[in-house]
A = this chain, B = another copy of it.
Amino acid sequence: MPYVTVKMLEGRTDEQKRALVEKVTAAVSETIDASPEKITVFIEEMNKGNYAINGKRLSDQ
């Protein structure tokens, strides 16, 4: 605890994901005073056919 979930479009590189979980963990740790080894980060990746804004999927725009 805490548990952080980042939901984003698929396609980020390993380098980006590595930086993402490192920086997000640091941001959470310093702002709510949680020790980093208690912080969990989940990445959830969506594809453009399963994500819509304004009634239209990204894959249809």
Contact = CB atoms under 8 A, between A and B. Distances in A.
Interface in A21-51: 21-28, 30-34, 36-37, 39-46, 49-51
Nearest to A58: B1
Contact of A23 (B5, B31, B54, B57): B31
Given A4-B5, A8-B2, A9-B1, A54 B27 contact: no
Contacts of A17: 32, 49-50, 57
Contact of A6 (B28, B33, B44): B28
Nearest to A12: B32
Given A6-B28, A27-B24, A36 B54 contact: yes
